[in-house]
Amino acid sequence: MGYRIAVVGATGNVGREMMNVLIERRFPVSEIHALASRRSVGTEVSYGDKTIKCQDLEQFDFSKVDICLMSAGSSVAKEWAPRIGAKGCVVIDNSSCWRYDQDVPLIVPEVNADAIRGYTKKNIIANPNCSTAQLVVALKPLHDAAKITRVIVSTYQSVSGAGKDAMDELWQQTKAKYVPGTEVEPKKFSKQIAFNCIPHIDVFMEDGYTKEEWKMMVETKKILDPKIRLTATCVRVPVFVGHSESVNIEFERPISPEEAREILRNAPGILVVDKREPGGYATPVEAAGEFSTFVSRIREDATAENGLALWIVSDNLLKGAALNAVQIAESMIEQNLLKSAA
């Protein structure tokens, strides 16, 4: 008994993680299909202890599958998600293409699982930006307790969020630092990423913010509460996997660090690591490969009347992408929104 699953973009970082997460979470799969562009047809990808070959997206019959997990970029999603949805297959899309469409629910299951029911308008569900996903998982229980009014967030985002070429560029530039004459010029990034920080992710907008920063603002409002004011500074850092966030939160009602710590400890998807000593906090190294979103450095922000400061870390390929997509599918099953497994 299980569901028929297609993974579009199966050769990419996130697509491969989707296959892994399905296995690790023992998702009920009766059939699995790895799909990619024509140039990747025949490429082998791992699914548990099996190896399967990628099929051609353009030739595949989506009427034969129940769920399509898609991580192939906005242009592919824009063209293919409506076509796939029209075949009766539910599309869970990881790109930014459908996130801001009023008829497409934007979902983080720990936060707004009930909103999944809106998927029937287009048969599409959107996955949020990787930085937004981990942020709202931590904000939700605090918002329920004391009502958040304003958030200031600075992100420290790993290169895997920009794809395999970005990871290769960091690796090559790092090696080149130790081998004179082998310097690698920036291609994926605007400046050298090795031993550097770049305060620029996605394109610049007219108001001086980048699109990544805008995404965090708009998505937090759509997922959590439209009244929350949020400002972000998004920075690319020379880390392979794992996004970190420094977050300052203002509340309508008083909330102490002790209260916040207890609330977060009991919240779904959160692991609190907060000892006030050297090493008593989470970093991307510990978060990589883990399903949890880690929260550390919980303390009072004395510059705000009802303020807290904290540190959030998560694996951007998992909670920020593949894991969240699979959790959406799991939530659909729990809510009986999918037809019975074959």
Query: What residues act catalytically?
Result: 130, 243
Contact predicate 156/193, CB 8 Å: no
* Predicted confidence (pLDDT) per residue in 186-204, tens digit: 999 999 999 999 999 999 9
Residue 30 is assigned to a structural domain of this protein: yes
pLDDT band at 180 (very low <50, low <70, confident <90, very high): confident
Q: CA 151, CA 131: separation in Å to the nearest integer?
A: 14
Q: CA 40, CA 16: separation in Å to the nearest integer?
A: 14
Q: CA 69, CA 90: separation in Å to the nearest integer?
A: 9
**DSSP code for 36:** E
148 and 110 in a single domain? The answer is no
Give pLDDT, residue 1: 72
Contact predicate 232/154, CB 8 Å: yes
Q: By three-state DSSP, how is residue 182 classified? A: coil
- Mean pLDDT over residues 105-109, rounded? 98
Q: CA 87, CA 63: separation in Å to the nearest integer?
A: 5
182 and 299 in a single domain? The answer is yes
Give Cα 209 distance to the centre of its chain.
Answer: 20
Tokens of 180: 């004179």
Q: CA 251, CA 92: separation in Å to the nearest integer?
A: 33
106 and 234 in a single domain? The answer is no
Number of domains observed in the structure of the chain? 2
Give pLDDT, residue 14: 94
Give pLDDT, residue 338: 87
Helices marked H in the chain: 13-24, 74-86, 109-112, 130-146, 164-176, 211-223, 257-265, 284-287, 323-334
Residue 342 is assigned to a structural domain of this protein: no
**DSSP code for 26:** T
Q: CA 152, CA 131: separation in Å to the nearest integer?
A: 13
Helices marked H in 199-304: 211-223, 257-265, 284-287
Give pLDDT, residue 342: 61
Say which CATH number the domain at 161 has.
3.30.360.10
**DSSP code for 147:** -
pLDDT band at 340 (very low <50, low <70, confident <90, very high): low
Minimal CA–CA distance to 84: which of 28, 33, 23?
A: 33
121 and 8 in a single domain? The answer is yes
Give pLDDT, residue 38: 87
Residue 340 is assigned to a structural domain of this protein: no
Domain of 101 in residue numbering reads as: 3-128+321-334
Report the largest interatomic distance among the alpha carbons of the chain, rounded to a whole angstrom. Answer: 61
**DSSP code for 106:** B
Residue 164 is assigned to a structural domain of this protein: yes
Residue 192 is assigned to a structural domain of this protein: yes
191 and 289 in a single domain? The answer is yes
33 and 178 in a single domain? The answer is no
122 and 142 in a single domain? The answer is no
* Predicted confidence (pLDDT) per residue in 311-321, tens digit: 999 999 999 99
Q: CA 316, CA 306: separation in Å to the nearest integer?
A: 30
* Predicted confidence (pLDDT) per residue in 37-75, tens digit: 888 898 999 999 999 999 999 999 999 999 999 999 999
pLDDT band at 162 (very low <50, low <70, confident <90, very high): very high
For CA atoms 75, 170, 195, 249, the dihedral sign is positive
What rounded mean pLDDT belongs to the chain?
96
DSSP per-residue letters across 284-298 = HHHHTT-SSEEEEEE
* Predicted confidence (pLDDT) per residue in 260-302, tens digit: 999 999 999 999 999 999 999 999 999 999 999 999 999 999 9
Query: How many residues in the chain?
Result: 342
Q: CA 237, CA 243: separation in Å to the nearest integer?
A: 9
pLDDT band at 101 (very low <50, low <70, confident <90, very high): very high
186 and 45 in a single domain? The answer is no
pLDDT band at 252 (very low <50, low <70, confident <90, very high): very high
Residue 339 is assigned to a structural domain of this protein: no
Contact predicate 97/315, CB 8 Å: no
112: exposed, middle or buried (Cβ count in 10 Å: 0-12, 13-18, 19+) = middle
- Mean pLDDT over residues 90-111, rounded? 97
Residue 162 is assigned to a structural domain of this protein: yes
38 and 182 in a single domain? The answer is no
122 and 140 in a single domain? The answer is no
57 and 155 in a single domain? The answer is no
21 and 83 in a single domain? The answer is yes
Say which CATH number the domain at 18 has.
3.40.50.720
